[in-house]
Structure 1
Amino acid sequence: MGVMDKVVDSAAEAVADIPDGATISVGGFGLCGIPSVLIAALLEAGTTDLEAVSNNAGVDGWGLGLLLGAGRLRRMVASYVGENKEFARQYLAGELEVELTPQGTLAERMRAGGSGIPAFFTATGVGTQVADGGLPWRYDAAGNVVVASPAKQTQEFDGREYVLEHAIVADYGLVRAWRGDRHGNLVFRDSARNFNPLAAMCGRVTVAEVEELVEPGELDPNQVHTPGVFVHRVVALTPEQAADKRIEKRTVRS
């Protein structure tokens, strides 16, 4: 296919150059739309000391929870952590640094990073520790706060106060798409779109695992959610890999 063919042979090859200490943006919401095959490959590769930017950290034993459980994450930027007991244990024991960020703010920080916008003002978090600083980022083993969030710049626009939030640019982006072509154009399906386009945008090098690989020209350009300019590597999943999707909670009551 020539120079525009971004397909690599395996997930292992796609993540092989991610170094220890890298920052990764990871698509998905809960377990919906997570790049589970790429996460497993990163686990297998032994890559460690990672900072992950993702809505949440998966659950115990699946998704980012696999990297977390193996002690591979040093820092997490997320908006929700309630499904993962090991996450809470590591955070409170001082083993993991956590930057909790309002969900819409996290989404916009990632979008801004992919758009070349270094920072933006938002009303979300004004009058709270999000803006004033003091949110515990890291504890020590005794439960003392050793790193806290800094105070952020605020400014008034049209009589209302806003807080300055900085964009996020990750070294690598890991995403999962429903369909993708060899040029890296991606289509997500229903709610699995969630944070995936944003994680793809803000990665300097973005790797997409796709459930169905098609040839260039087969995707309707009007239906493409993430253009190939944001995507550098494409991994075609096997039918078995594509079908392996976990559900966090099958019921809400007995």
Structure 2
Amino acid sequence: MNKLYPSAGEALRGIVKDGQLLAVGGFGLCGIPEALIAALRDTGVKNLTVISNNAGVDGFGLGQLLETRQISKMISSYVGENKEFERQYLAGELELEFTPQGTLAEKLRAGGAGIPAFFTKTGVGTLVAEGKELREFDGDTYVMERALLPEVSLVKAWRADKSGNLQFRRTARNFNPAVAMAGKLTVVEVEQIVETGALDPDSVHLPGIYVHRIVLNAHPEKRIEKKTLRQEA
């Protein structure tokens, strides 16, 4: 199965549509799939619900989709410095499902692991728990959180082999593996593509079974790395 696509636009062709639930990797501006976000903007799809820790900054990352009013709801843990995000929310133009950061990560991880729901202490006694099932375990109260299963996940990785095995770089790993695991269809933007077998198995942070489409976003001289990367370990 060929997972390689010539451009971000081609990688999104036929899989994004109005009203979808999408997840986007990254933390702040670290590890965000810039080319895929720009391509998503250019599709013109609207009324999106987007799962992401935050929404970038004004005019960059997911901030672009806020400016074009393509997002109707955010599921995130942080508004941060994005003034347009704040403005739309306070004006009632954007729905926001605030989720504690660790709970958000676990909701995505659970979705990827096939776990429909889990119980956590986080949020008990706060607005986070309103309307959710509470249950007592060993004398303590827990709130039930449902897993997240985005229809499409957009992810940034450092390297991929042609089978979709991924390697992330330092803190850019952040939410990306969980987002990739949770997506029913996962599209990954990478800086380097190598031959299958070139990555040291110990350097693979996410197996290719979770990856459906790959697009290269790199300088021309980095388009295909053919040497065996085991030597760099």
TM over 0.5: yes
**Which of 13, 16, 33 matches 2:13?**
16
CA RMSD of aligned residues (A): 1.1
2-structure distance, mates of 1:216, 1:30: 31
Instruction: List aligned pairs for 1:208-227, cutoff 5 A.
Output: 208-227=188-207
Instruction: List aligned pairs for 1:150-169, cutoff 5 A.
Output: 151-169=131-149
2-structure distance, mates of 1:23, 1:165: 17
Preserved CA contact (<8 Å) 2:187 2:213: yes
Structure 1 residue 173 and structure 2 residue 170: aligned? Answer: no
1-structure distance, mates of 2:29, 2:219: 18
Preserved CA contact (<8 Å) 2:187 2:214: yes
Runs of 4+ in structure 1 off by over 4 angstroms are: none
Preserved CA contact (<8 Å) 2:34 2:61: yes
1-structure distance, mates of 2:203, 2:154: 21
Instruction: List aligned pairs for 1:64-103, cutoff 5 A.
Output: 64-103=62-101
In structure 2, give the amino acid aligned to 1:54: S
TM-score by length of structure 2 reads 0.92
SS of residue in 2 equivalent to 1:204:
coil
Measured after TM superposition, the shift of residue 238 of structure 1 is 2.5
TM-score by length of structure 1 reads 0.85
Structure 1 residue 30 and structure 2 residue 10: aligned? Answer: no
Instruction: List aligned pairs for 1:51-66, cutoff 5 A.
Output: 51-66=49-64
In structure 1, give the amino acid aligned to 2:83: K
Deviations 1:7-42 (A, max 9, x none): 011100111221111111000000000001000011
SS of residue in 2 equivalent to 1:170:
coil
Deviations 1:219-247 (A, max 9, x none): 1112211111111000011328x9xxxxx
Measured after TM superposition, the shift of residue 83 of structure 1 is 1.4
Measured after TM superposition, the shift of residue 129 of structure 1 is 1.2
Which residue in 2 is equivalent to 1:39?
37
In structure 1, give the amino acid aligned to 2:201: P
2-structure distance, mates of 1:75, 1:187: 30
In structure 2, give the amino acid aligned to 1:62: F
Deviations 1:187-228 (A, max 9, x none): 101100000001101110000000111110011112211111
Which residue in 2 is equivalent to 1:143?
none
Deviations 1:104-161 (A, max 9, x none): 0000000001111000000101111111x2xxxxxxxxxxxxxxxxx11111111111
2-structure distance, mates of 1:45, 1:118: 31
Question: Paired residues, what number?
Answer: 220
2-structure distance, mates of 1:239, 1:126: 48
1-structure distance, mates of 2:29, 2:164: 23
2-structure distance, mates of 1:19, 1:70: 15
Structure 1's unaligned 5+ residue stretches are 134-150, 243-254
